[in-house]
Structure 1
Amino acid sequence: MTDQTQTMKPQMGFRQKYHRFLKFEFIAGVLLTGTLGALVLFSPILFPEGGRTVDLLARLTPPFLTMEHPLGTDPLGRDILERVILGGRVSFTVGIFSAAGAVVLGTVIGLLAGYYRGLWDTLIMRFADIQLALPFILMAITVIAIVGPGIDRIIILMIVSQWVQYARLVRSSVLSLREREFVQAARSYGLRDRKIIFGHILPNALGPLIILLTLNVANNILLESSLTFLGLGADPQTPTWGGMLSEGRNYIQTAWWVTVFPGVTIMLTVLGLNLLGDWLRDELDPLGRTSR
C-alpha cells in the first residue's frame, strides 16, 4: 500500500499541474488572442498592398459570394478581410505599448510611494486622485485637438492617464509587504533600499499587476477604436477597426458587413484578452488555488 501511494502522488500532482491549462478561459482566450495576434503579426506578408487597393467595380460586394472577397468589400471596393486583419496592427500596437508604458511608470512610482511614504506618498496620491477625476475621453479630445491626431500621441496619452491605476495597486501591496518578516530580515542584513524594493517586494506584487495589465490591453483596444471612430486616431488612410466602423456607419442598412465584421473582430479580441485575464486571476489568487 505504501508503494502504491507513493507512485500515485506524482500522477495526481501532474494532473493538478496541467489541469489549469485545460480550463475554458485559458483555451478560449489563447485561441482567440493567438489566432488574431498571429494574423496581425504576419499581415504585412499576407497583404503587402496594405489594404489600400481600390476596385470601384467591386464596391459593396456582399460577403461569402466570391473567394476573392470572402467578407465582401467596402464602399471603395477594398477587401474587408484584408482591412480587418491589417487594422489589428494599430489596435494591438496601441493596446500593448500603452499598457506596458503605464505599468512601468505606475509600478516605479507606486513602489517608491509605498516604501518611503511621507510627503512623497501624500503628494503622489493626491495628484492621482485629481487625475482620476478627469474623464479620459474629454481629456483625449482636448489634447488631440491641440497637438493633432496620431498613434504615438494616443499611446502617450493613455500612459499618462493610466499609470495611476498601477501606482495605487502597487502602493497598496507595498504598504503590507514592507512590514513582512522577509523585508525586515533583508533590512537587518544591510541590503540597500533598491535591492529590497526591486528584489524582494516587487516580485511579490507582480500577480495583481499582470492581471490588470491583461485587462488594460483589452480596454485600450476599445479606447483606441473609440478615438479612431471619432476621427482622433490614426491617419484615415491607414486601416483601423474604429475607422472601418466610422466609414461603414452610413451603410449599416444597405451593407451591414462593412461595420459588422470589424465590430465582431473587436469583440472577439477583447473577449479573448478578458478570458485570459480571468484565468490569470484564478491562477495567481492564492485563496482561489487553495479552494480548488
Structure 2
Amino acid sequence: MPRPPGSGSDRPAHRLAGLRALLATLRHDRFALVSLIFLVCVLVLSLIGPTWLSDEARAMNLRARNAPPFSLDDGWLFVLGADALGRSLLARIIVASQNTIVIAAFAVLLSLLAGSVLGLIAGFRDGWAGALLLRFADAVMSFPTMLLAVIFLYVVEPGIQNVILVLAISRLPIYIRTVRAQVLEIKQRLFVQAAIATGAGTGRILFHHITPMILPTVLNLAALEMAFVMLVESGLSFLGIGIQSPEITWGLMVADGRNYLGSAWWLSFWPGLAIMLVALSLNLLANWLRVAVDPAERWRLETGAGEE
C-alpha cells in the first residue's frame, strides 16, 4: 500500500530537495559563494597549517628583522614580510588562524547551545523560571561584552579556556532573548496547540515542533556572532589581557606590531586584514542565510536565479 505524501519515508527526499534548493540559491549569490569558499580555505589552513608551519612560525632570523613584504630573498614564506624577530608573517598568520577560529567557534557554540536551551525554557514556561532567566539575561547585558571580559580576565589568569568562557557567558543573553521571542510566537500556532491538546510531552513539543522552526534564525545569529566574538577576542589580545605568548592569535599579532606602525606597517596590517576579511565574509554569508531560509524573502534570490 503506497504511503501518503509527507509520510516518514518521504522526509529524507524532502530534506535533500530542500538542501539542493538552498545550494542553488547560494550558487547565484556570488558574494555569499565567494565568502563561503574563502571561509572554507581559511578553515582548511587553520587545520593543516600549524602542522606544517609551526616551526617556521617560531624560527627567528635576526638578519630579516622587519623585512618588507613581497621580497623573496629569504624564501616564499617571507612574501608578507617578517616581524621584529625575523619570523615569517605568512607562517605566523596561518598558525595563528587556528587559535583565533577555535576560540571564536567554541565561544559561539557554547553560548548557542546553552542560550538556546535557556531561551526555549524561558519562552515555553511562563512561571518563575522564565522570569529568572530574563533577569539573568538583563544583568549580563547591562555590561558591555568587552568590559565584562576585561573585568573577568583581570581577576583570573588570561588563557584560551578563560577567554572562551567569558565570551560565551557574555553572549548568552543574545540567544536567550532571541529564542524566547521566537518560542512565544510559535507556541501560539495551531500545530503546537494541537500537539499540546493531544498530550505530547514538553520535550517532544520543544525539540520536535519548535526547535526546527527557530533553527534558521539561530544559525544566522551564530554566523553574525562568530564575527563579533572574533573581533572581541582580537581586541582583548590587543589590550594584552587575552591570549598570551607563546600562544598566538591575529589580535596578538596586531598588538605586537603597533610599536612599529611608523617603520613596519605590515606587522599589523596583514593580521588586521585577515580579521577584516573573515568578519566580512561571515557577515555576507549570514545575510545570505537570513534571506535563503525565509520564505518571505527567498523570492529575491529565486528571481535573480531565474533571470540568469
TM-score, length basis structure 2:
0.86
Per the alignment, residue 143 of structure 1 pairs with 152
48, 55, 59: which one aligns with 1:42:
48
**Aligned residues: CA RMSD:** 1.7
Q: Which residue number corresponds to residue 56 of structure 1?
A: 62
For structure 2, the residue ranges without an aligned partner over 5 or more in a row are: 1-19, 304-308
Cα distance, 1:137 vs structure 2: 1.8
What is the identity, as a one-letter code, of the residue corresponding to 1:206?
L
Q: Could you tell me how far 1:155 is from its partner in structure 2?
A: 0.6
The aligned length equals: 279
Could you say what secondary structure the match of 1:125 adopts? helix
Deviation at 1:58, TM superposition (A): 1.2
- Post-superposition offset of 1:286: 2.0
Match of 1:83 among 83, 92, 100: 92
Residue 89 of structure 1 aligns with an amino acid whose one-letter code is Q
Deviations 1:198-257 (A, max 9, x none): 111111111110100011011111111110111111122222111111111111111111
> Structure 1 172/16 Cα, relative in aligned 2: closer, same or farther at 3 Å?
closer
4+ runs deviating over 4 angstroms: 14-17
Give the Cα–Cα distance (whole angstroms) in 2 for the partners of residues 198 and 100 of structure 1: 18
In the alignment, the residues of structure 2 paired with residue 19 and residue 132 of structure 1 have an alpha-carbon distance, to the nearest angstrom, of 36
In 1, Cα distance between the equivalents of 2:129 and 2:289?
Answer: 32
Maintained 8 Å contact 1:71/1:80: yes
1:6 corresponds to: none
Deviation digits for residues 246-275 of structure 1, max 9, x if unmatched? 111111111111111111111111111111
Q: 1:289 to 1:127 in 2, by over 3 A?
A: same
Within 1, Cα distance between the matches of 2:227 and 2:88?
26
For residues 56 and 162 of structure 2, what CA distance do their matches in structure 1 show?
Answer: 22
Instruction: Please give the TM-score of this superposition, normalised by the length of structure 1.
Output: 0.91
Contact residue 44 and residue 50 of structure 1 kept, 8 A: no
Question: What pairs up with 1:139-218 in 2 under 5 angstroms?
Answer: 139-218=148-227
Measure, in 2, the Cα distance between the counterparts of 1:54 and 1:266. 25
2:286 to 269, 277, 280: 277
CA distance in 2, matches of 1:24, 1:280: 13
CA deviation map 1:126-173 (0-9, x unaligned): 221122111222221211111110011011101111111111111111
Seen in structure 2, the aligned counterparts of structure 1 residues 212 and 54 have a Cα distance that, compared at 3 Å, is same
Q: Is the 8 A contact 1:90 1:240 kept in 2?
A: yes
CA distance in structure 2 between the aligned counterparts of 1:256 and 1:225, rounded to whole angstroms: 18
Farther off after superposition, 270-279 or 119-128: 119-128
Residue 37 (structure 1) shift: 1.4
Structure 1 match to 2:251 = 242
1:15 shift after superposition: 8.8
Contact 1:25/1:278, CA 8 A, preserved across alignment? no
**Unpaired runs of at least 5, structure 1:** 1-13
Identical counterparts, % of pairs: 35
The amino acid that maps onto 1:58 is A
Write the distance in 2 (CA, Å) between the matches of 1:45 and 1:290: 44
Read off the aligned partner of 2:142 and give its amino acid letter. Answer: A
